Structure 1
Amino acid sequence: MTADADLVLDDAVVHGTGLAAPANAIAVKAGWVVAAGDAARAMTARRRMSLGGRTVIPGFHDGHVHTGRFGMGLRQVDLSDATSLDEVYERVARRAAELPAGSWLIAHSYDHTALGDRHPSRGPLDRVAPGHLVWLKHRTEHMGVANSRLLARAGVDRSTRVDGGTVDLDADGVPTGLLVETAQAFVNDLIVPVSHEELVQAIDAAHTHYLSQGVTSCQEAGVGGGWIGLSPDEALAYEDALARGMLRVRTVLMPSYEVLEPSGPHGELRLPDHLPHYFTDPLLRWGPVKIFADGALSTRTAAVTEDFCHHPGQTGLLQAEPETLRDRIVAAHRSGWQIATHAIGDRAIDVVLAAYQECLGHRLDDDPRFRIEHCSVVRPDQVTRMAALGVVPVMQNFFVEALGDVAEANLGPDRARWCYRLRSLLDRGVPVANSSDRPIAEGAPLRALHRMLVRRTASGAPFGEEERIDPLSALKVATWNPAFACRMEGEVGLLQPGYRADIAVLDDDPVTADPDRVGAITVAATFVNGELKYDAMGTGHPIE
């Protein structure tokens, strides 16, 4: 006799089913949820798994990641926990001793604030790794430090100038090695394109890591071009990873604006011909176009309206003139693209909101679903404008911990209250979507949930406590809202009949657990399309 379901997960606490209370079971057939609660329990199934009271939620959806960079970073020198310049140089020296002369030595995630507000510099790097091309990426990836050999290879000297970025000079007018924002392109042009196979392997490694954290969907925030892209053929690496069974997480590719080419009688912006314009597998699809407006908050390159604290005259950088940014946004919108603009400071957000307002005048889409990536410093008047324009902020709630202390230092206590907003946006009907921005910060979504509930910085200081939300709202911010951000809200983000069976099984319930313990909850299993992709429980416990 044919079974009603392929799989029933039983003896569970299931959230996201649409039922009035948590369900006790969920049934899956052909990759889709077909029933929940007693209706699921009553079904015959090819396999049943008793979860022993564990919690089942829709798989986490990371609304803004850089998978290639994260996967490659797993093999690079990790400086994220370095607390002194001496420690940075020691790690570089150790790796240099392992590498052949003349090779690249790349490290990631150094944090100048943890180094006494100081950056590494070329002189000490020359001493510890004289025979290598050394590139140290800041945790934000909005700046980096090169040694002299790499500066010379990149053609950077005291006369180098660049729009939208800076080459840092010492008192004698000599480059220190620090390249900020668009100045990184001198080095980036030497690193990219990353080889096709290296990208495929990076995707595989990153997705394996994502599954261990209950992540079943992610959105790649800028592929194929600009300073964030790793290869003009980046999309082909994802397509190949899918064909080889190495694309393990449902993926939305967001092309960088720089990838698009004018096409057709009116010059509409389209993907170049060598890239697939459509994918046939639901695990891979195109999403919004990614546009950069400004820099980062911790590096004081985010474009703000008032000076950064203790830095008179510094208001950050727009990565292009406001008119140019407006032209890019309007052109992409008129070409039919959903727009996702990186804007962190309130000055950058002003520019983006004005462009979005102009786009509405073209009336090409009744639901343009404009996005602002990061959307970090939001004035009260901007909250109102975002609600009126239907903007979706794709934010990194873990930044409350990772960057909260430096945000307050750079903005001061009054403006810090505008930073990493949550409840004030949700209360106005603005559907904030959670994301990690990894490798910029820790990507575990349960730790992001923790910061939505408790709002404390790495030092333990409270940060915008009035922006805390309840656990069920936090789950929605980390599951359904990111799906809404990329027009997948009818497909993933819930565990109702007709939704894909993308599921995370947790060892505790984040809805009822002590908020201080939510970040420590572990993932027991992860399913994509109803298939078990990560299993920390062994083989489960069949009932029949």
Structure 2
Amino acid sequence: MEFADLVLQNGPIITLDNNNRIVRAIAVKNGKIIAAGHKPEVKRLIGPLTEVIDIDGKAVTPGLINTHDHLLEHGLSSEFILDIRYPKAKNIREIQELVGRRVKDSNPGEWIIGHVWDETLLEENRFPNRKDLDSVAPQNPVFIKRVFEMGVANTKALELAGVEDTTSDPEFGKIDKDANGKPTGLLRGRAMNLVLDVIEWSVDQKIEAIKKGCRDFNSVGFTTIIEPGIMQDGIEAYTLCRDKDELNLRVLLQIGFLHDREEIKWAIDNYVVGGDDNLRIIGLKIALDGGVGPRTALFYDGYIDDPQNNGVQMIESDTLKEMVFEGHRNGFQIAIHAIGDKAIDIALEAYQLAQTKSPRPDPRHQLVHCYFPTIKALEKIMEFGIVINTQTPFLYFLGDSFIEALGHEKCKSCMPVKTLKEKNVHVGISHDATVTPPLPNIGLYASVARKTIKGKILGHEESVDKKTALEFYTTSASRHCFMEDKIGSIEIGKYADLAIWNFNPLDSSVEGLKEWKCLMTFVNGIKVYDFEDNV
């Protein structure tokens, strides 16, 4: 008899298979599940070298799948970038204190980079500016990023980027200026690239960031991630990690952000869909609009505090159609960032045209965010087989800023995940790190409770049950990766990507979901995280 390498027993083990079985034991051999059932039938597979882990009444789920998080950027933030997220910084003074401390530990002229702030959560309820940063960092270039397409640079950073009083706004970007025509330091949209393009990271730094990102994501139960918006240097860093056997997650890459025909051509000329089950290129990432907070998500109607502004379309419709078609006919999954109702409709038109001109079986193009689809758009999403990646954690962390921009009534329909589920659309949940931290406990909670950090409810009508919320991180998410036959559920023949938790989320109260904690994570049956080793 061939004995198992690993046995987990005394569940519950939530398989999420087609029969939704909850079993008591599973066995693993050569990285795959070889048995899932009751303890006696698995016990016979225990040999002298089998590792046996007693779940002791806790809970096991499939390893979680994250359909849209910037792991490399998260790793850089964790390893090298200053964390200024709320509540670490509750006001501008605390941002200044954090920047000032980093300056003291840095050499003159060394970049100080911080992620991320949201003025609606700051006590001053205003944007920081370059003078705020100059006061604590006169000799160091500083750039602090806001959630969604906005950031603030100090004077030194603006100088290095060549931004002067006379510098014109780039296409789809804005350099904010005061009444005297001087830059305030606030850069919107593609104006951020003026600064970002002069910040360089070494290959070694990126490799360390990827390893750090893997550790962080493993520690909360993730075993697979779609990494969106990754370019040549990032792909090279991921490849080096994979070749050194230092990639403790399955990583699916979407190349981007791609802004025009030339960049799409570059991607198609240099890359093809392919790889292995540890690292694979699957798609191309395009950003069509911006975000709700900075009032750049594209709507048919204006924002409540700025009725003449309905957002920003970052790529012309005809150009987008050409870009999508070229990527589509070359076999890529196309992932379009579209938040507002108008942006979603424009993206769907591009998908429809591409499939009409060059039919492909099951291309599974992805709408990223898709917060405010119209009723007609929902029907098209179902008809075209579009998969939806959305961020219910934003309802919790950023929902109050959404209300401020759009009003409470409109926000009740934000991220209509229940409606999408009812239409058999495959939804995946993510955190868009570094916008919000990768915390699946909050993802589950927000999908069920739809409650903001300040306690406001954003449409109970779109709440889902706990099992559905878990499926958004597992079985449903696996289809975004084209790997539903290999990951996402605990079944014989699938990879032994597993997570052990402190309790069964299906038995938890809604508020209790916030206390859900990962204790152990396995990829290919190999332990990549153990809470006890990190206490």
TM-score band by shorter chain is over 0.9
Contact 2:103-2:140 at 8 Å conserved across structures: yes
Displacement of 1:498 in angstroms is: 1.5
Alignment partner of 1:107 out of 94, 99, 114? 114
1:50 paired to 2:58: no
Query: Residues of 2 paired with 1:259 and 1:465: CA distance?
Result: 37
2:467 pairs with 472, 488, 492, which one?
472
Distance 1:20 1:57 in 2: 12
Question: Structure 1 residue 240: deviation in Å?
Answer: 1.0
What is the Cα deviation at residue 270 of structure 1? 4.9
What RMSD over aligned residues (CA atoms) do the two structures have, in Å? 2.1
2:438 equivalent to 1:443: yes
Judged with a 3 Å threshold, the aligned counterparts in structure 2 of structure 1 residues 269 and 149 are, in CA distance, closer, same or farther, namely closer
Note the alpha carbon deviations across 1:400-427, whole angstroms, 9 max, x for none.
1011111122111332122122101111
Asked if residue 517 in structure 1 is aligned to residue 517 in structure 2, the reply is no
CA distance in 2, matches of 1:206, 1:270: 25
Give the % identical residues: 31
Contact 2:273 2:332 in 1 (8 A): no
CA contact (8 A) 2:115 2:146 kept: yes
Aligned residue type for 2:215: T
Distance 1:58 1:20, change over 3 A: closer
Task: Return the offset for 1:285.
Answer: 0.8
Q: Given the alignment, which residue of 218, 225, 248 partners 2:225?
A: 218
Contact 1:260 1:272 in 2 (8 A): no
For residue 459 of structure 1, report the CA deviation from its aligned partner: 0.3
Shift in Å at residue 362 of structure 1? 2.0
1:7 aligned partner, one-letter code: L
2:410 to 402, 409, 415: 415
TM-score scaled to structure 2, two decimals? 0.94
Q: State the Cα distance separating 1:129 from its structure 2 match.
A: 0.9
User: Is the 1:17–1:23 contact (alpha carbons within 8 Å) kept by the matching residues of 2?
Assistant: no
Q: Sort the Cα spacing of 1:293 and 1:538 in 2 relative to 1 into closer, same or farther, 3 A.
A: closer
- 1:223 to partner: Cα distance: 0.4
Counterpart contact for 2:259–2:287, Cα < 8 Å: no
| Contact in 2 for aligned 1:9/1:48 (Cα 8 Å) | yes
Deviations 1:135-179 (A, max 9, x none): 111133x11111112112211123322111111111112110111
2:254 matched residue in structure 1: 254
Q: 1:272 Cα shift?
A: 4.9
- Deviation for aligned residue 1:537: 4.8
Report the equivalent of 2:355.
360
Q: Are 1:78 and 2:80 matched, yes or no?
A: no
Distance 1:277 1:184, change over 3 A: same
Contact kept? 1:28, 1:34, Cα under 8 Å = yes
What residue in structure 2 maps to residue 28 of structure 1?
A: 28
CA distance in 2, matches of 1:56, 1:303: 41
Post-superposition offset of 1:278: 4.4
Counterpart in 2 of 1:14?
A: 13
What does 1:161-180 align with in structure 2 at a 5 Å threshold?
A: 161-180=169-188
User: 1:20/1:381 Cα in 2 relative to 1: closer, same or farther (>3 Å)?
Assistant: closer
Secondary structure, aligned partner of 2:520: strand
1:231-265 per-residue CA deviation (whole Å, 9 max, x = no partner) reads: x32111111112223211111111116499989xx
- Any idea what SS the aligned residue of 1:424 has? helix
In 1, Cα distance between the equivalents of 2:331 and 2:431? 27
What SS does the aligned partner of 1:393 have? strand
Please list the CA deviations of residues 367-408 of structure 1 after superposition, one character each: whole Å capped at 9, or x if unmatched.
111110111122222222211221111011111101111112
- Rate the CA distance shift 1:372–1:93 in 2: closer, same or farther, 3 A: same
Letter in 2 for 1:65: D
Q: Paired residues, what number?
A: 524
Question: Once the 2 structures are TM-superposed, how far is the Cα of residue 536 of structure 1 from its aligned partner?
Answer: 2.3
Q: What residue in structure 1 maps to residue 212 of structure 2?
A: 205
Amino acid at match of 2:305: H
Matched, 1:507 2:502: yes
1:288 and 1:486 in contact (8 A); partners too:
no
- Output the CA distance in 2 between the equivalents of 1:390 and 1:207: 31
Residue 73 (structure 2) pairs with residue 65 (structure 1): no
Query: Match for residue 147 of structure 2?
Result: 139
Read off the aligned partner of 1:94 and give its amino acid letter.
R
Deviation at 1:277, TM superposition (A): 6.8
* 1:187-242 residue CA offsets vs partner (Å, 9 max, x unmatched): 111014x2111100000011101111011000101100xxxxxxx32111111112
Preserved contact between residue 80 and residue 139 of structure 1 (Cα < 8 Å): no
Unaligned runs of 5+ in 1: 225-231, 540-544
How far, CA to CA, are the matches of 1:90 and 1:137 in structure 2? 16
Identify the match of residue 95 of structure 2 among 88, 91, 98: 88
Aligned to 1:228: none
C-alpha displacement at 1:98, in angstroms? 2.1
1:285-364 equivalences under 5 Å are: 285-364=280-359
- Partner of 2:171, secondary structure, is coil
Q: Is the 8 A contact 2:299 2:310 kept in 1?
A: yes
Cα distance change, pair 182–257 in 1 and its aligned pair in 2 (3 A): closer
Instruction: Give, in whole Å, the separation in 1 of the partners of 2:143 and 2:246.
Output: 29
- Calculate the TM-score normalised by the size of structure 1: 0.92
Determine if contact 1:288/1:338 at 8 Å carries over to the other structure.
yes
Deviations, residues 505-542 of structure 1 (Å, cap 9, x unaligned) = 11100011112111211111100000111112569xxx
